[in-house]
Structures are given as C-alpha cells and as structure tokens.
Structure 1
Amino acid sequence: MRIGQARGVSGMVAAAVLALALTVGAPPASAGVTAFKQAVAENAARDDDIAAFYRARNFEPLWTGEGAEYLLRRQALIEAVQAAPSHGLPTGRYDAPQILALMRGVGNARDMGEVEVELSKIYLRFARDIQTGVLKPSRADDGIKREPPYRDRTALLAALETGDPRVTMRGLAPQTHEYARLMKAKLQLEHIAASGGWGQEVPGGALKPGASGKAVVALRNRLIAMGYLHRSAAAGYDAALQAAVQTFQEDHGMEADGVAGPSTIKEINVSARERLESVVVAMERERWLNFPEGRGDRHVLVNLTDFKARIIDHDKVTFETRSVIGHQDLDRRTPEFSDVMEVMVINPSWHVPRSIIVNEYLPLLRSNPGAAGHLRITDSRGRVVSRSNGFSQYTASNFPFAMSQPPGPRNALGVVKFLFPNKYNIYLHDTPAKNLFSREVRTYSHGCIRLGDPKDFAYALLAKQTDDPVGFFQSRLRSGVETPVPLEQPIPVHLIYRTAYTQAKGQIQYRRDVYGRDAKIWNALSAAGVVLGRGDS
C-alpha cells in the first residue's frame, strides 16, 4: 500500500474522508475479515504491546470498524495530533495529513489491517510524547536522573474502548495548572515573536536613575513592549522606569535594585524566541513529572535555577527559603530527581564523602598532617587514627581512612539535615556559611542543597506531628547529641530545574541556565523535530 500525501484537510472535509476512506473497495465479508485479521496480526507482531492488545481482542478493529464509535476515535486522533504544535511536540512523528493520506490509500482488507495497526502506533507515539515527554531525560544531560512515568501502552489503547475518545485524548497531557499556564505563555510568545518581538535591544553598559538619552528610551520602549511599563513619552530614567526595572529583576531572579546594569540589560535583551524555547523546554520537563499519583498533596519542591526550596500544600506554597546548590563544575552539580524525605537529623555529624576526602583533604594531609584539624580520621573499625605518622605515603587509590566532623556549631551541615535516601548522596541541610545566601547566583556546594532558614523549615515539617514544633526541635538541639527524628508522614521531594515557570498571577518567571541543561534539552527537542514559529527579538 502506498502512503500518499494530503495537506490542508480538516474539519468536515476530514470527517468525510475518514468516513469514506475506510469503506471503499471492501472485499466479500468472510474473506475480508480473514485478510484483515491476518494483516493486523502480522503488522502488530513487530510491537509486543500492540500484539498483546490485538490478541486479547481476537484481532478485532479499534479504529477501522464500521460505525459511529470507530469514526469518533479516528476523528479524535486527527484532532489531537493537529493540536500537537500547541504542546511543543514534533508533529512530524504523527502528522495529521499523513494519517489521512494513509487511510485514503486503503484498497482492500489487508490495507485496512495495516492502517489499523499504524493508527495504534501513531496514537501510542503521540500519547507517550504528550503524557510523559518526547525525550529520555538522561540522554539530554546525565545530571538529570529522572525516569519518566511511562504508562502501560496496552492500557492506553484499552482506554479508547470506553467513554468519549476526545476526553481520553485531552486527558493525556499533564493536567496541572503549571502546564496550562505554560501553554498560554507559549501562545503569547509565539504571537510576540511573529509580530517582531519586543523591539530594539538596549545598548550595553549601565543605566541608572536620572540618566537620559537614546539608551534610556530603548530601555523604556522594551519594558513597555514586555508589559512592565505603561506607555510613556518620558525620555529620562524616572521613578516609573526604575520601578519597572525592579519588577523585571524580581521576575528574573536578580537583585531588585532598580539599576539596569550589564547583567540586567543582558536579560532584558533576551529575545522572545529564546524565551519561547525556555517555555517549550519547561513544558517537556513538566511532562517528565506527570506522575499518575501526582506529586503529593504535601511535597518539597526545589527549583535549582531559582535557588529556592519550598513546601507545597495542595498546590499552594506554605513555606519558602533560599538555597545554595552545587557548583557549576561537572562533578559538583546537583542532580535532578524525586524521592521521599523520611527523617531529619538534629545535631548531625558530617561523614565526608570519599570524593572530597581524596580530592580536597588528602593533598593537604600529605603536606601537613595537622591540616583539617576539625575532622576526625578513623580506620575501618572506627578507631581514631594518629596524625603523627603523616600521610605522604597514601594516594587517592589507597587512602584507607574515613573522615568525619562531630556535631557542633561549626559542623559543615550546621544544626540539622533532612534525608531522602538516594544513591546520589544528596540531601538538604543547614550550613555555617550564611553569607552565601545573599548572593544572586548561589552555586557553591558539592551537590547537596543548603537551606537559608533550616530551623523554620524543620518547624514547618514537624508541625504535622507535634503541637510544639519549636520546643520539640530546640530541646533536642540543646542536648548536643545527634538525634534522628523520623517523619510520621514521609514527604515527596522533587529536585527540578526550570528556567521558565509560571505563577498563578503576574508575569512568567525566567531564570538563568546555570548548568546549561536547558540548552541541551532544547537542542535535543529541535533534533527530534520540534519547530518554533518565526520571530527574533
């Protein structure tokens, strides 16, 4: 059977094609049924899930039968894939005109059987892409430790047998408020980009309140186009322009000082198309988190690019604190994954990871046995090792000792840590280095996440299991003894990375791609066939 090409077929015309294409040229009933089923069996055999689905139904059609329910399924599939561009999906993988051409090419029962299986393949490809993502995350960047929550493919097919297939199709995409708002932002940015963007870029340098000139006018005009400033003919850097710059800075995770310095101007000059790429990437990332069970009525959400840790209760932020994440060095970047927090440890000891021991402390100990005197060095039986014999004979491959820091005010983990056991040895914790939380870009750790307000974070968690969370925490803190406190209700933790995210009200938020991960994801999506509309600035 030859697959022709059809373009521009939609609406009532598409319905007519669907209704007619599958009834023309049908052979005598008994021979036709046998040929159809043989074709289904042969073509389905190449896909174990599809083969199992059709065997269970004795190779009866799901799409190509006669009757209103089959026509409705075909129409629902065409309508769904026609809407794929609004989701930032690679439409070439399930092109609606190609599907119509495929059906119009039916000449006999065997052709019909081939089309039957092909429609199931197209549907499953589309369903997986829109439901749990186009990409395999770890292939885009090995710091993304996520396995998308793929659904059972036979169950996806079976879901079409009952109820309205249009409702089933619409329910495939993430049903979160975030995804819906990202779709809306995508549509708006596409319109802006197609209309020429936000206008002239602002010349480089620094602009401060009181300044005037062409650069200030360009700044004013661009902020008006972005929706941060009401239309104005003012040519000076006045109070209104300063307030607009501050709001822009807040929406982009910058110090909101109202001064348009080089970093602020750089962000203002980012084109609508580049912002659109960030939104499309965010939609893909949202699909990776489309868990059947949801993310938890209460969960901890850490957006690495935003340098914030939040507690979410029923989709509302009930606690927020600044965070410090892993350094940009490849071996120190914080990975992305989800797990479950089970325990907090008050007055924690710090057991130094092997990588830090051999890469950072061993070179110091080799030249000065007394270095890092705040750390205990112990052998495999837990006995403290004397430093008097020195360590110059050891290398990274044969250093046999462990290192740790006992609880105390100068402990690297501060007064509390929060554990969600994982193979990456990542957790949330306090830190004595409080000065880092005032920085705009907070990438300083070895991978773990430091919290700006760890005690308040602990109180918020403990409030679910004690009437006096502050007193409970402080009494154990005063003991000076390392004290694990199990959480009676373990809490899901999601470490995410979003350079674009939305709010219930206000402008979309953008953050810098500190690890370069979103650039890689966009490149992978583009290679997979995702295409944006035209537009530059």
Structure 2
Amino acid sequence: MAFAINRLSFPALVVTLALSCVAGLARPAAAQDMAFRQAVAEAAYGNEAVATFYRMRNYQPLFTGSRDGRRRSALINALATADDHGLPSGRYDPDALKATFQSAKSARDRGRAEVLAARMFLQFSTDIQSGAMTPSKIDGGIVRVLPRRDPLLQLQAFSKSSPAGFMNALPPKTHQYNALMAEKMRLQKVLRHGGWGPTVGSGAVKPGESGVAVVALRNRLIAMGYMGRSASQSYDGKLQKAVQQFQIDHGLAPDGVAGTETLGEINVGPEKRLAQVIVAMERERWSNIPKGKRHIEVNIPEYTARIIDNGKETFATRVVVGKNQPDQRTPEFSDVMEFMVINPTWNVPRSITIKEYLPQLQKNPNAVSHLRVVDSRGRTINRNSVNFRQYTAATFPYRLKQPPSQGNALGQVKFMFPNRYNIYLHDTPSKSLFERDQRAFSHGCVRVADPFDFAHALLEPQTNDPVGLFQSKLNGGSESRLNLEQPVPVHLQYRTAFVPAKGRINYRPDIYGRDARIWDAMQRAGVKLGAAGS
C-alpha cells in the first residue's frame, strides 16, 4: 500500500500503518473501519483531549454509531439553547452539525463528523459550565480562578451518562442563574414589543405635581411593571409608592421623589438592562462552584455583605469598597475566612506609605503623628532623627504602623482570609460614609458598617455566647487573634444585575466599568441581545 505522506498528518499515518499491518488485504467492513479511524485521527490532530479520548476507546464512535441517536439529539438540542444562555452561538452551530451528520455517507465523512461533534461538545460544555470568556483577559481586577473541567474527563463522563440528563446538568443550578435567564427572556419580549416607551424629562418630578412629566413617569413605570394601569395625571400615592419600589430595586434612597438620579435610572433602556443580565449570567458561570453551606457574599456594586446559611440570608450589612482608581478597586475572587483579629495593628501597605504619607513626611516630619515609623527590625524610629527628603519611593527604608485604638484605620476588628492581594474585611472609624448611596472610598479592602454584629454572627456556630467571647477579647485592648473553628468561604462578587430570593430584579451602576468591558468582549465573540420570537 502506497502513502502520500505529505497529505496525511502524522497521527493518521500511524493509525493507517497499524491497521494495514494487522488487516493485510482488508475486507470491505474492515476497510470501512480503518477509514473511519484514520479520519478521526486526522480530524482530532492538534486537540490532545479529543485525540486521547478516541485512542483510549480504540476509535469507537460516540456520536455517529447506529446506537448513538440519543446522544446526537441531546447534543444538537443543547446547542440550540446557546442563545437562551447568552452564549456566542456561532461557536457551535447545531444546524451545521445536524447537516454534517445527515450528509456523512462514507466512513471518512463519519469520522470527520464524529470529531466535529466532539469539538462542539467540548466548547459548549466548557462555555455553559464555566463561562465563554476568560475574565483575566478582560479586566485585571477579576482574578477569579475559573472552574474549568478537564476536557478528557468531560468526554469520558458524557460517554457514560444519560445524554439528555448530562447536557441538562451543565448550566449552573442556582436560583440566581435561573432567575437571570427568566429575566433575559422577559426583556427580550419587551424589546420585541418596542421597549418601555418615551423617557421622562430631566427635571425632578415630585409628589403632588401634575402635568406632562408626571404622565410620562407614570407611563414608564406602568410599562416597567411597577404599577397597574392608571389614568391619573397627578403624582399621587400610587405613583409615589411605585417610585419608592423602583428606588429600592436600584439601590437609591426610597424617598419617593423622582429626582435627577432616580430619573437617570428610570430612563435606562431595556437594551442596557438586557446586556447587564447577560453579563451577570456569564459571571454566574465563572463562579459555578459549591459556595459552601455557610458562606459570605460581598457584592461590590451593591455595597453589601451577607452571610448565607443553607441558601438563606442570615445577616447583611452595608460596606464600603475600593475607589474607582487603577490600584484601589476591590478585586473579585473567592477564598476562605479563617480568623479575625481584634484590636488590630494597621501595617500601612507600602503603596499607601510611599504615595500618600511619604510626601507629607517630607514636608513635615511630624505629619501623620498617629503612625509610628518602624525600621526593618521592628524598632520605632525617632522622626526627628530622619531626613525624609533624602528618600524616594524606591529607597524609603521604613514602614509605618498604627497601634490598636478606636481611631485605628482598621477599626477594632478585621476579618482575615489570607490572600495574595492583601484584601480583607474590617471595621472603620469613618462611619459617616455608610450613610451614602454610593460607597466606593477605600484603598481596596472592604469596610463593614456593623463589624461587631458581623463578628457575633460568625462566632455563633462555635459558642453559646458569641457576644461575650468577642467582648472579652475586645476589652483586653491588645491585639489578639480569634480563630473560626469552621472556616467560612468568602466570595467577592461584582453583580450589577441580581435577583433577590424574594422580589424583582435589582440593578446597580457599573462602578468600575467592568461589566461594560465584559459586554464588549462578549459582543466581539458573537453574543447578541436578540429579541424573543425574532
């Protein structure tokens, strides 16, 4: 048998040579089998998982065999749902795959169809389980480790499972994901029917008023589902109640007045809201991991931290997050809280030391007097003995520390989940910031409005007297560590669209611009807004 080596990939050549040595002058069925194997080897070349999978199963088909009809149907049906999940459906074309199956008459054609199906399966299963995008390539502040499955193990698991059941189990099985998907469908119907109608004028609209702006506000809220149909042209109690509910759902002070900020949110169109929902679904796929029976969720744009026990919120508090500055935005990742430090010392991060405090010390050695200047051996240095002007940001040899006190920048307790980003939750003496709607003021860490109550809630599983245990450490005055007997997973998230356990969907501003960058990347990958029924 002659071989045109320059026309065959190396794996295909190996398979063909091996088969010819065994079969000799092959019978027709054996020749068909050899042609199928050769085609699979050729088509799988360059994809190690696919090539290994078929080699391990002796090139037996998974999709194209006479008994594989249910598996073919399950895959094609799942691929057809890609748009429903806000995925780039062009990556896996179910119609093209179906046509390839139908037109595969020869053994070689079946081999190529086999590998095409395997590749589409792997792409789709990866995308719908753990996200179609790679977040770290979109924004450096998203440092989450994606729950990517091993592709070889994925193929092996599919080969041993109920096809339809396996495909149905791929998306995240959370209340949040299902609710977002339902909201996506609803918004697409809204778009199909023309949106929410005219926007409301830019001037504030207040209870008791009447006129064109009130009618526009009423009609907009009716279209958005915040109130039933009404012919009233005055800003009455029903309209005020609808405005208040809208404000609650958008993180605004529920004063019932349609001021500039409230009208800005009311005038956001369904297209933008749909994009937020699709991005939120992608984010859910990025964090498609067991969260923990007890865990902490911090939603950065919502400025809220929660303790979740067995799927139910048992504690919530307002938080302050990082400023919208390149080196101060709070990153997104998951870790495990192991302990709390009571009466903490603040070891000032070097970035803050050299950017904020060194210039002040160069002007006045007695500036920031609440901080101690410490050398590499931990000894406190007399400021008057140091010429701060001789140092640059690169050469400054000292560290700054703030001893425990009620005025300490970390407050009286910090909650530790040791990580490479030096991010943690902590108390703060700057309580007034928690009264603001927008709370992005920190250097990256998360400041907690109710730190003592938070500590008590965390300690409840390990003591009958969490308040007494915490207070005994606090009253000691010196820095002390209190371990959590059961460490608690912490998830720093960024959700500008989310659905509470009860109530309608909530939206928040994209304070760091991360969702906008994600949506741009998803559009470039082929994700479209679409409209239900279009």
- The alignment status of 1:193 with 2:191, answered yes or no, reads yes
Partner secondary structure for residue 395 of structure 2: coil
> Which amino acid is 2:457 matched to?
A
Q: How does 1:63-82 map to 2 (within 5 A)?
A: 63-67=63-67, 70-82=68-80
Query: Between the two proteins, what is the percent identity of the paired residues?
Result: 56
SS of match in other structure, 1:317: strand
Q: Which residue of 2 aligns with 1:53?
A: 53
**How far 1:310 moved relative to its partner?**
0.3
Aligned match of 2:337: 341
Q: Is this contact kept in 1: 2:189–2:531, CA < 8 A?
A: no
Contact 1:228 1:248 in 2 (8 A): yes
Q: Deviations over 1:366-401 (max 9, x none)?
A: 010000000010100111111113311111010000
3-state SS of 1:494 partner: strand
Map 1:467-478 to 2 at 5 A.
467-478=464-475
Tell me, in whole angstroms, the C-alpha distance in 2 between the residues paired with 1:165 and 1:229. Answer: 45
Cα offsets for 1:133-157 (capped at 9, x unmatched): 0000111111100121001111211
Which residue number in structure 2 is paired with residue 84 of structure 1? 82
Partner of residue 386, structure 1: 382
> Quick check: 1:131–1:174 contact (8 Å CA) kept in 2?
yes
- For 1:326, the equivalent position in structure 2 comes to 322
Structure-2 residue corresponding to 1:257:
255
Q: Aligned partners of 1:534, 1:458: CA distance in 2, in Å?
A: 47
1:123 to 2:125 alignment = no
Distance 1:117 1:215 in 2: 60
Matched, 1:302 2:298: yes
Q: 2:436 aligns with which of 421, 436, 439?
A: 439
**Partner Cα distance (1:201, 1:524) in 2:** 29
Q: 1:171 aligns with which of 169, 172, 184?
A: 169
* Secondary structure of 1:383's aligned partner: coil
Confirm or deny that 1:143 pairs with 2:155.
no
Pairing 1:39–2:39 present: yes
Corresponding position of 1:7: none
Alpha-carbon offset, residue 534 of structure 1 = 5.0
CA distance in 2, matches of 1:159, 1:378: 57
**By how many angstroms is 1:484 displaced?**
0.6
In the alignment, which residue of structure 2 is the partner of 1:317?
A: 313
The answer to whether the 8 Å contact 1:245/1:259 transfers is yes
* 2:407 paired residue number: 410
Q: What displacement does 1:45 show? A: 2.7
Q: Is residue 73–residue 160 contact of structure 1 (8 Å, CA) maintained in 2?
A: no
Residue 281 (structure 1) aligned with residue 288 (structure 2) = no
Alpha-carbon displacement from aligned partner over 1:97-149 (angstroms, at most 9, x marks no partner): 11122223324211211111111000000000111000001111111001210
Which of the residues 517, 522, 529 maps onto 1:520? 517
1:210 aligns with 2:208: yes
Give yes or no for the alignment of 1:427 onto 2:424: yes
* One-letter code aligned to 2:359: P
| TM-fit CA distance, 1:503 | 1.9
Kindly indicate whether residue 373 of structure 2 is the aligned counterpart of residue 377 of structure 1. yes
Given that 1:304 and 1:498 are in contact with CA atoms closer than 8 Å, whether structure 2 keeps it comes out as: yes
Structure 1 counterpart of 2:91, from 90, 93, 115: 93
1:388 partner SS: helix
Deviation at 1:418, TM superposition (A): 0.3
Structure 1 distance, partners of 2:388, 2:154, is: 61
| 8 Å CA contact retained: 1:84, 1:90 | yes
Counterpart CA distance in 2 for 1:387 and 1:506 is 57
1:230-249 to 2 correspondences below 5 Å: 230-249=228-247
Q: Is the 8 A contact 1:311 1:320 kept in 2?
A: yes
Which of 358, 371, 390 aligns to 2:354? It is 358
Residues 300, 311 of structure 1: 8 Å contact kept: yes
Aligned 8 A contact 1:137 1:147 in 2? no
Residue identity in the other structure for 1:57: R
Q: 1:160: Cα distance to partner?
A: 2.1
Provide, for residues 233-254 of structure 1, a one-character-per-residue CA deviation record: whole Å limited to 9, x for no partner: 1101111111110110000001
Give the aligned partner of residue 458 of structure 1.
455
Q: What secondary structure does 1:512 align onto? A: coil
Q: Could you tell me how far apart the structure 2 residues matched to 1:488 and 1:267 are? A: 44
Match of 2:5 in 1: none
Instruction: Name the SS for the 2:462 alignment partner.
Output: coil
Q: Give the gaps of 5 or more residues in structure 1.
A: 1-26
Decide which moves more: 157-166 or 354-363.
157-166
* Contact 2:64–2:101 (8 Å) recurs in 1: no
Distance 1:421 1:505 in 2: 33
Q: What root-mean-square deviation, in Å, do the aligned CA atoms of Structure 1 and Structure 2 show? A: 1.1
**1:347, distance to aligned residue in structure 2 (A):** 0.4
* Aligned length in residues: 505
C-alpha displacement at 1:331, in angstroms? Answer: 1.2
Give the one of 466, 488, 495 matched to 1:498: 495
Corresponding residue SS for 2:383: coil
- Structure 2: stretches of 5+ with no match in the other structure: 1-26
Report the Cα offset of residue 50 of structure 1: 1.0
| Aligned mate of 1:159, from 152, 157, 160 | 157
2:469 aligns to what SS in structure 1?
helix
473-482 or 42-51: bigger deviation: 42-51
Instruction: Report the 3-state secondary structure (helix = DSSP H, G, I; strand = E; otherwise coil) of the residue aligned with 1:40.
Output: helix
